[in-house]
Structure 1
Amino acid sequence: MSISETTKKKESKKKEPKSKEPKNTQQKQAKAKTSKKNDDAALIGINVKKADDLADWYQQVITKGGMISFYDVSGCYILKPASYSIWEYIKEWFDAKIKSIGVENCYFPVFISEDNLTREKEHIEGFAAEVAWVTHGGQSKLEKRVAVRPTSETAMYSEFAREIRSHRDLPLKLNQWNNVVRWEFKHPMPFLRSREFLWQEGHTAHLTKEGAGKEVHQILDWYAGIYEELLAVPMVKGTKTNNEKFAGADYTTTVEGFIPATGRGIQGGTSHCLGQHFSKMFDIKVEDPDQKKEDGGEGKSKHLFVWQNSWGFTTRSIGVMVLTHGDDKGLVMPPRVAKIQAVIVPVGITAKLGEEGRAKLEEQVIAIAEVIKAANVRVHIDSREGYSPPWKFNDWEMKGVPLRIEVGPKDLEKHQVCTARRDTGEKGSIPITQLGTDVPTLLDTIQSDMFKRADAIYREHRKEITNWDDFVPALNSKNFCLIPHCEGDDCEDEIKKMSARTDTGDDVAEDARAPAMGAKSLCIPFDQPSGITLGETKCTNPNCKALAKSWVMFGRSY
């Protein structure tokens, strides 16, 4: 109803006898105003439930939570301080770890010549569909197109061949913190599937297979540490099957995550032993230090091709964290990566408090913040004018700040502050004299509790399946299936096909509401359940005649 229509309606009722109707009308108008306020609040907050529409929920959470802004190139996004700071905390933690084993940071150009990129056939085949090519410089067509790096193996290994002249130059360990472009044509999803993303990529060369293997597993442990110690997200460590390993690698190790809302897996980070494939391609070799020269030292020395590794971790991890912990109110940030770990909201500011009372409260709030800051807690005071405390509470909940601290005149009289945990909503109080110890302790508890809850859910959804008839129903209940498997490539492909919905209605007992995709192998977990007797246990695929070699984790995935 417009303002003019409202005015006419009021005028038409001036001559009417008094009745309860005007009162009811006023009540209706008041109700309408309240409804409009609620609608406005819904626009500010998250207005869709995670369980109802995950895609819409996710987009609202990361935009309204201040993590990203959209860009005018599809599949590319602006990382705002709230999300980029998470990447900085990850970088700080991991950078210290890799430097402890002698890795040095460097930078190689973003462009790779076509000749270099195509030198290793298997490698380029793994990326061919995603490579972005530069074909023009200004108005001029390039004589030879150049690729925007999808990864840097081929960009770096010519330099490795120049740098490594002797076994004394080994190990050579380099890492880049950079961006890569993979021109995905699937539906983009911020953090999880974007055309440009940030990552680190380590590339190292070793004299022996054993030395390379030791590093591969050390890096993987640290990748799991980023998720579990910083992001409070549980992971399963394992080896990729031959079908799923990195293109051109000898073997690939991986950390695999789980998104409870969809029951789908997501690859969290990979560490590859490239073997000697690239060193033979780029002629990276050294004299064998153990080879005894013949003829009094005048004979030819034996040359060895070096063993190489590559390992990478991306900003995809931020999306995994959001999907794991976020709820219907918005983000839920693990304290160790939260830009703001604790927010102080002054409350109880009324007209009765007066200017002197307001000044005293403000002074006390600043003093409290300094005590908390001195305890190495990232703390912020919300002193915004014109917003009520409940509005601020909702705003900080949407942004996922781990701990809210409320300070008002009544709290100061009791020499305490009130607290509210973002992860559970649990409220409590802390004596002002104990803020320096109790706030950090509470944040550590929140971090630990968030991981424990996520880990318990992940474990509940890993089912050991030995009967094929139970496989698809388990998938449809949002589970992963650990099955005895022969590790055969063709068998793995068949399982994926057999577990997909074909809409024929009679070949697979598929829930119509479940995803149509089949289950692929996620990894061969390092932590193997008991129950497989090598040489006796049959592969779970009913069409396979081979015997099982290990438990393999299958599931639908991103």
Structure 2
Amino acid sequence: MSKGLPKKSEDYSQWYNELVKKADLAEHSAVRGCMVIKPYGFSIWEKMQAAIDKMFKDTGHQNAYFPLFVPKSYLSKEADHVEGFAKECAVVTHYRLKNAEDGSGVVVDPDAKLEEELIVRPTSETVIWNTYKSWIQSYRDLPILVNQWANVVRWEMRTRLFLRTAEFLWQEGHTAHATKQEAIDETIQMLNVYATFAEEFMAMPVIKGVKTESERFPGAVDTYCIEALMQDGKALQAGTSHFLGQNFAKAFDVKFADKEGKLDLVWGTSWGVSTRLMGALIMAHSDDEGLVLPPKLAPIQVVIVPIFRKGQAADGIHDQADKIKKGLEDLGISVKYDDRDTNSPGWKFAEYEMKGIPVRIAIGPRDVENGTVEVARRDTKAKETVSADGVVQHIKQLLTDIQENIYKKAADFRASKTTQVDSYDEFKQVLDDKGGFVMAHWDGTAETEEKIKEETKATIRCIPVDAEEESGKCIYSGKPSNKRVVFARAY
């Protein structure tokens, strides 16, 4: 299974692309820029969905669904919003096909032109705020705490499976509030939800921060984000939460009567994560043998592989495997017993290593005689012999240990790739030689930010929310600065 997988140290991009395919996660489709998420890949996404969705509902949110199509006029109502997405929009202009007169196939019927073009949603703020206008009349209708799981289209020219595709899956939360502070609190709450999910489920440490004005979501007052570091030293934006102020309420005339009967504009937020998290999960933890999955997101947490020759009696092995499988399932642990006789145990070992199954149990005739099993963990590749009677409780603890170890490894890597610099020469040297997060002073101007980006291809990933006040000088302009920001080259 692992044959042909490039070493990530030699060609990280090719390693990633091949791993996505060989681990059976996704593949390119016949539609340029779009992907097919295969069953195993989708089962990981479903685990992510389930965990995040529960966190949303635990914080009072409900799911709904809004149209795929957005009237063009809606996008025109919020100037920054339309400018931010105009170059990525797919546009529907006609609603009917007809047979070509020369019999060559079907053609667009020129008589079926839409009166107003429809945009395939790049995001749903406009269509949702137009809807909220009819939902909101008074303070009694607030807050509205809504999320939708959907697909969106952003016409990307250079694509990579999971990380950047023309169509992708995501969730987008859209909330409406009576006060500015409520909306800000909501924005930060959802940022914290994303950070908790990334760290506790994905085992991926993140920095929480605020985007600079030039990196802000189109139409937002402030954009908060979580930034993660991949194993090639590049940053990846893993989630965003936007304080929209009253911008969209103003654009769509969404007002409410407060307790005194005075009309005021509603305050809004939006927030989202996408299947880009799948790319982050792969790149944060995996190795040259394949995928490494944190147990909390592994569709199969334990696989049991029997070892016996064809034609050899295997009743004792099956009995032992069934007993262990039932014991683990009683604890809520997902288990697969692979007793197929079409592939050798060695082939199965390689397959499950490639797919990142956290724990593998092997049982052979000698194990049955000795009352033991062999347990192998995917993260460290360590093997041990464990009593068959105690293996269920052993694996319960082992899965916790693996989850914690994967996080620690990622956190230690991030720490080793986080560097504080005080000069532009040092900044450029660290980016070229070491990569990772570079903590440096910045003068707060868009001009300096753009110059650094042009010269180094590094961007300001965020201004950390917990950044301490510290007097210094901008590494580029020498002007005063009161805190360090996070620079990195990024996906």
TM-score, length of structure 2 as denominator length: 0.94
Question: 2: distance between equivalents of 1:46 and 1:209?
Answer: 55
Query: 4+ residue stretches of structure 1 with deviation over 4 A?
Result: none
- Residue from 298, 301, 315 that aligns with 1:341: 301
The equivalent of 1:550 in structure 2 is 483
**Post-superposition shift, 1:305?**
1.0
- CA distance in 1 between partners of 2:387 and 2:220 (Å): 57
Could you say what secondary structure the match of 1:371 adopts?
Answer: helix
The more displaced of 366-375 and 314-323 is 366-375
Amino acid across the alignment from 2:173: G
Report SS of the residue matched to 1:243.
Answer: helix
Matched, 1:47 2:2: no
Distance in 1 of aligned mates of 2:253 and 2:474: 41
* Aligned with residue 521 of structure 1, among 431, 452, 460: 460
* In structure 2, distance between residues paired with 1:170 and 1:47: 53
Q: Secondary structure at the match of 2:148?
A: strand
Q: 1:218 is matched with which residue?
A: 189
Per-residue CA distance 1:60-112 (angstroms, 9 max, x = gap): 21111111132101111111121112221222122222222321111011000
1:350 aligns with 2:309: yes
Aligned mates of 1:324, 1:247 — CA distance in 2: 28
Q: In the alignment, is residue 86 of structure 1 matched against residue 44 of structure 2?
A: yes
1:126 partnered with 2:96 = no
Aligned residue number for residue 493 of structure 1: 450
Paired with 1:46 and 1:528, the residues of 2 have a C-alpha distance of 44
- Determine the C-alpha separation between the residues in 1 that align with 2:262 and 2:116: 38
C-alpha contact (below 8 Å) 1:191/1:318 kept by paired residues: yes
Rounded Cα–Cα distance in structure 2 between residues aligned with 1:118 and 1:332:
45
Residue 271 of structure 1: aligned partner:
241
Q: Could you tell me which of 244, 247, 253 is aligned with 2:218?
A: 247
Residue in structure 1 matched with residue 134 of structure 2 by the alignment = 162
Amino acid at match of 2:409: R
Cα displacement (A) at 1:498: 3.2
Q: Could you tell me how far 1:544 is from its partner in structure 2?
A: 4.7
Q: Deviations over 1:415-447 (max 9, x none)?
A: 121111111110112222223311111011111
The answer to whether structure 1 residue 394 and structure 2 residue 350 are counterparts is: yes
Shift of 1:364: 2.2
- After superposition, the C-alpha distances for 1:268-315 in whole angstroms (9 at most, x for unaligned) are 0000000011111111112232x5xxxxxxxxx532211100001101
| Cα distance in structure 2, aligned partners of 1:368 and 1:73 | 45
- Letter of the 1:109 partner, please give it: P
**For residue 463 of structure 1, what is the aligned residue in structure 2?**
419
Deviates more, 1:121-130 or 1:47-56: 47-56
Q: Are residues 284 and 120 of structure 1, via their aligned partners in 2, closer, same or farther at CA, if it must alter by over 3 Å?
A: same
Match of 2:200 among 214, 226, 229: 229
Corresponding residue for residue 508 of structure 1: none
Residue 45 of structure 1 and its aligned partner are, at CA, apart by 3.2
Which of 108, 132, 143 in structure 1 is aligned with 2:66? 108
Equivalent pair of 2:5/2:19 in contact (CA under 8 Å)? no
Q: Deviations over 1:184-237 (max 9, x none)?
A: 11x210000001111000000111111111111111111112211111111110
User: Match of 1:317?
Assistant: 277
- Alignment of 1:413 with 2:346, yes or no, is no
Kindly report which structure 2 residues correspond to 1:14-33, keeping only aligned pairs within 5 A, or say none: none
Residue 69 (structure 1) aligns with: 27
8 Å contact kept, 1:487–1:550:
no
Matched, 1:191 2:162: yes
Contact residue 45 and residue 398 of structure 1 kept, 8 A: no
CA–CA distance in structure 2, aligned partners of residues 159 and 393 of structure 1: 53
Deviations 1:364-407 (A, max 9, x none): 22222111221211111111213221121111111111111011
Judging by fraction of residues, say which structure has more strand. 2
CA contact (8 A) 1:486 1:550 kept: no
Q: Which amino acid aligns with 1:155?
A: V
Whole-Å separation in 2 of the counterparts to 1:479 and 1:368: 43
Note the residue ranges of structure 1 that are not aligned, 5 or more in a row: 1-40, 292-300, 500-517
Answer with 425-434 or 398-407: which moved more.
Answer: 425-434
* Alignment-derived partner of residue 22 in structure 1: none
In structure 1, the residue matched to 2:106 is none
Show the 5 A alignment for 1:436-447. Answer: 436-447=392-403
Cα displacement (A) at 1:529: 4.8
Q: Which digits, 9 at most, give the CA deviation of each residue in 1:472-499, with x for residues without a partner? A: 0111121221112222111211222232
Deviation at 1:142, TM superposition (A): 2.1
Give, in whole Å, the separation in 2 of the partners of 1:544 and 1:134.
50
In structure 2, give the amino acid aligned to 1:160. Answer: Y
1:325-370, Cα deviation, whole Å (9 max, x unpaired): 11111111111111111110111x137xx65x32232222222211
1:45–1:64 CA contact under 8 A, matched in 2: no
Match of 1:377 among 316, 320, 333: 333
CA RMSD across the alignment = 1.5
Corresponding residue for 1:539?
474
TM-score (norm 1): 0.83
- Secondary structure of 2:41's match? helix
Larger Rg: 1
For the residue of structure 2 that corresponds to 1:133, the secondary structure is strand
Letter in 2 for 1:222: V
Counting matched residue pairs gives 476
Check whether the contact 1:50–1:57 (CA below 8 A) recurs between aligned residues. yes
Q: How far apart, in 1, do the equivalents of 2:305 and 2:423 lie?
A: 56
Provide the rounded CA distance (Å) in 2 between the counterparts of 1:160 and 1:190: 35
SS in 1 for 2:152: strand
Counterparts of 1:388 and 1:58 in 2: how far apart (Å)? 27
Query: One-letter code of the match for 2:446?
Result: D
CA distance in 2, matches of 1:281, 1:350: 71
CA distance in 2, matches of 1:412, 1:400: 27
CA contact (8 A) 2:231 2:285 kept: no
SS at match of 1:377: coil
Displacement, 1:412? 1.7
What residue number does 1:282 align with?
252
SS in 1 for 2:169: strand
Conserved? CA contact 1:491–1:544, under 8 Å: no
Alignment of 1:302 with 2:262, yes or no, is: yes
Q: Is the 8 A contact 2:255 2:263 kept in 1?
A: yes
Match of 1:515? Answer: none
Residues 466 and 483, structure 1, Cα contact 8 Å, conserved in 2: yes
